[in-house]
Amino acid sequence: MEKHSLERYSRQMRFAPIGEEGQKRLAKKVVLIVGVGALGTVLANHLVRAGVGRVKIVDRDYVEMSNLQRQMLFDESDVKESLPKAIAAERKLRAINSAVQVEATVADVTASTLPALMEDVDIVLDGTDNFRTRFLLNDMCFQKGIPFAYGGAVSARGMSALFIPGKTPCLRCLINEGSGSGETCDTVGVISPVVDIVASYQVVEVIKYLVGQTEALRGTLRSFDLWGNHQFDLKMAKAKADCPTCQQRLFPALTADETEVTTLCGRETVQINRQKPFDLALWKNRLTGSANVKATPFLLRIELEEGERIVLFPDGRALVQGTEDLTRARTLYSKYIGD
């Protein structure tokens, strides 16, 4: 190993289960982190500092002031610039460790966009905030035979597990789709230490897997409540015989309809995907005069006289912020953008 690597990772390599051989293995690995918000920023920070060779990050959103309480890679300048989270995180991560290849993608993760993101990936980490995307990741990972590190945090509670195709059950075996409480960070809040702990549990299991220390894997779905002072481990012994993902191999999330209009849970936001790109410069010129328009290289933010906001992204997505009413969102979109 090069001298600067020996110095940078010296304390990590002194930990016997990793050592120099484990460090060399990490340098050859590729990980994908889906979602670069609360969990995703902690995941990326740990893995880049640990020396994973290539870290791919993807997120569809941009940095807002309410993110700064728990999303550790962002600061007030990112909010001021309205930077996409993936871009802001990429800048910070490259400054942390220039030897790691950090690749950022600003996009919505769907059944059609995910396969390209997962090319050459050794493991996928969940940094998302919704089960629709988690079940999509679960199904795609089990279809392709790639491990999936699940994590979730809300209020003072957290959960994490590492699912390995052919070795463990999948997420659907332990959590029924649609059985969640419906609580989100936007509705019941979240304290930052919960996020750090969940992400740290995820990263520890991921590092064990990447360095080949599979005998040390926890093998449980761990849940905890920091405020209530309790923790529970559910052993991942058997898959459900009728599981549509890991047993029947039907992968329902991969064949589900990708609706054009969706509500982002708990965020008072509706996403509309028109399936073709937005020319941001063109739309800035078109909308200036009818609304307050702010442009960045990554998005166009339109403050409407009605009180809501529309955010346009180059990939063809639009966020209508300030409402969860699909009819209202469609009306505003049609008024300012068209059908």
Q: Using the structure block, give the residue that is written with the tokens 């991560």.
A: 93
- Residue 258's pLDDT is 64
- Residue 339's pLDDT is 60
User: What string of DSSP letters covers 238-268?
Assistant: ---TT-TTTTS---HHHHS---SEEEETTTT
Catalytic residue among 185, 243, 246, 265: 185
151-163 in b/e form (b: 16+ CB < 10 A) is bbbbbbbbbbbbb
State the Cα torsion 312-313-315-318 to the nearest 10°.
-40
> 320 burial class (0-12, 13-18, 19+ CB within 10 angstroms)?
buried
Q: Using the structure block, give the residue that is written with the tokens 């304390």.
A: 11
Strands 30-34 and 54-59, sheet pairing: parallel
Work out the angle at residue 18's Cα, subtended by the Cα atoms of residues 14 and 20, and round it to the nearest 5 degrees. 70
Using DSSP, how many helices (H) and how many strands (E) does the chain show? 14, 14
- Residue 179's pLDDT is 58
> CB neighbours (10 Å) of residue 68?
14
State the Cα torsion 18-19-20-22 to the nearest 10°.
-20
> 7 burial class (0-12, 13-18, 19+ CB within 10 angstroms)?
exposed
143-to-42, 98, 251 alpha-carbon distances in Å: 27, 33, 7
| Residue 246 known to be catalytic | no
**Euclidean distance between CA atoms 239 and 260, whole angstroms:** 34
User: What string of DSSP letters covers 185-250?
Assistant: HHHH-B-HHHHHHHHHHHHHHHHHHHTT-GGG---EEEEEETTTTEEEEEE-----TT-TTTTS--
pLDDT (tens digit per residue) in 92-115: 999 999 999 999 999 889 899 999
Given a cut of 70, the residues of the chain with pLDDT beneath it are 1, 3, 178-183, 186-187, 257-259, 265-266, 339
Element of type H or E holding 3? helix 3-8
CA-wise closest residue to 326 among 282, 253, 269? 269
- Residue 114's pLDDT is 96
Helix, coil or strand: residue 43:
helix
